[in-house]
Amino acid sequence: MKLRVANCGLRTPPKRVKARSVVDSSSGIHHSKFSSGFTLIELILILALLVIITSLAAPRMSGFIRGRALDSESRRLFALMHAAQSRAVSEGLPMVVWLDQKQDAYGLSEETPSKNGDPKAENLTVDSTLQISVLNVGMSSPTMFNNLPAIRFLADGSVDESSPQTVQLTDSAGFMRWLLLNKTRTGYEISDSKPN
């Protein structure tokens, strides 16, 4: 009679394979047959690939960063113009967006502030890599505010006829972005192409 022994769910552990050690006779160092890691040549190849990829991506990244500064500043100026237009309509008073080309700054204020000044006035500085300039100021009597060229928004939300037609932002590499007065004189729009 043969007895069968039930396995009872116990499993025999797998056999482990021992790594063989090899002794380098010249240095006396033990080397494993299954050693892991990178060789010096593999590390040099990986570093060379990283340098190549970085050199290809760097010019595109600098253009992207430069474009972001121009884009960000033009949108901020556009938002300030929109805020001035909204204030002019809601308060029923003319508002001005003044542009200081020498100090590379701009801001929003009431055209005729009270004795205490305009509590909602805003003063902003252009990004340090950019310059602001006003084009088409050569009109007979351009709109001025505190001896600075200004865009004047009337109480009905329209732009005054003597306001500048174009505001230009230029970065240190010579790239430009323009804010152009639209044909209906109801506001400005951002443009990547030079105005005619």
The answer to whether residue 55 is domain-embedded is: no
Structure tokens at 28: 């006396």
Using one digit for the tens of pLDDT, what is the confidence trace for 86-139? 999 999 999 999 999 999 999 999 998 888 888 899 999 998 889 999 987 556
Q: What pLDDT does 142 receive? A: 85
Q: Which residues contact 186 (CB under 8 A, 6 or more apart)?
A: 157, 158, 159
Q: What pLDDT does 123 receive? A: 93
Q: What pLDDT does 110 receive? A: 93
The answer to whether residue 4 is domain-embedded is: no
Per DSSP, helices labelled H in the chain are 40-91
The answer to whether residue 2 is domain-embedded is: no
Range of the domain at 154: 68-191
The answer to whether residue 150 is domain-embedded is: yes
Structure tokens at 123: 């003063």
How many degrees, rounded to 5, is the angle at CA 186 between CA 97 and CA 190? Answer: 70
The answer to whether residue 5 is domain-embedded is: no
Structural domain count, the chain: 1
Phi, psi of 105, deg, nearest 5: -140, 165
- Read off the CATH number of the domain in which 165 is found: 3.55.40.10
What are the residue ranges in the chain where pLDDT is below 50?
Answer: none
Q: What pLDDT does 104 receive? A: 92
Q: What pLDDT does 4 receive? A: 59
Sign of CA dihedral 140, 143, 145, 149: negative
**How far is Cα 129 from Cα 109, in angstroms, rounded to an integer?**
25
The answer to whether residue 12 is domain-embedded is: no
The answer to whether residue 76 is domain-embedded is: yes
The answer to whether residue 94 is domain-embedded is: yes
pTM: 0.66
